[in-house]
Amino acid sequence: MAKSKSAFKSGSGVWLWLGIALITLLLDQVTKIAVIGSFQLGESLPMTSFFNMVRVHNPGAAFSFLADAGGWQRWFFTGLGTVAALVMIYLLRMHAGQTLFCLALSLLLGGAVGNVIDRVLYSHVIDFLDFHYAGWHFPAFNVADSAITLGAGMLILDELLRVRRGK
């Protein structure tokens, strides 16, 4: 076991995690391209009684935080996402043998880079998943946001399991 851990630390195991991040990124970008090609800004297509496909542009962060900040937020969130991606790549390389931790980071990395690409190309993030109930709409989101949320949940689970193992 120690031998495989050192092989992971040398960087050979990082490729699996980067591959998962790349698949996440590609799925995010392909779905956004499909939405751009199929919907006009603001257009909505009801799919079920609680879900619509929409096309909205979010110049801010999660839940449109800082959406009306005047433009500086585009570059702030682009820079933040880029720095976070570099840190995640470093962590994947250093901890490639930790399955849950690295799977979480891979999802976070793919999602973060997907949203950074949107900010650079379009100056906003393309969102298209709209869940609603009785007139209340959850803020629209995308595949990258889903991956980031799932990855964050997995990081919390990984830490809870690590603390539990330590007792």
Per-residue pLDDT of the chain (167 residues), as tens digits, is 444 444 444 456 899 999 999 999 999 999 999 999 999 999 999 999 999 999 999 887 666 666 666 667 777 888 888 999 999 999 999 999 999 999 999 999 999 999 999 999 998 999 999 999 998 989 999 999 999 999 999 999 999 998 888 76
Residues 6+ apart with CB under 8 A from 148: 107, 108, 111, 112, 115
pTM given for the model: 0.86
Tell me if 37 is assigned to some domain: yes
Which pLDDT score, from 0 to 100, does residue 12 have?
61
* pLDDT value at residue 10: 47
Just list the catalytic residues: 127, 145
pLDDT score at 89: 95
Using alpha carbons only, give the angle 120, 44, 113 rounded to the nearest 5 degrees: 25
Q: Which residue segment(s) compose the domain that 51 sits in?
A: 10-166
Confirm whether 2 is domain-assigned: no
Q: In this structure, is residue 78 part of a structural domain?
A: yes
For 20, residues 6+ apart whose C-beta sits below 8 A from its C-beta are 103, 106, 107, 110
Calculate the CA dihedral of residues 133, 61, 32, 136 and round it to 10 degrees. Answer: 10
Q: Is residue 1 part of a domain?
A: no
Dihedral of CA atoms 102, 107, 109, 111 in degrees, nearest 10, equals -170
Q: For residues 56 and 124, what is the distance between their CA atoms, to the nearest angstrom?
A: 9
Residue 23 within a domain: yes
Give the model's pLDDT for residue 84: 94
Structurally, the chain folds into a number of domains equal to 1
Evaluate whether 46 touches 135 at the Cβ level (below 8 Å): no
Residue 128 within any structural domain of the chain: yes
Q: Is residue 4 in some structural domain?
A: no
pLDDT at 65: 65
Contact yes or no for 88/151 (Cβ under 8 A): no
Residue 125: count of CB within 10 angstroms of its CB: 27
Is 3 a member of any domain? no
The reported pLDDT for the residue numbered 11 is: 54
| Closest among 27, 26, 21 to 107, alpha carbons compared | 21
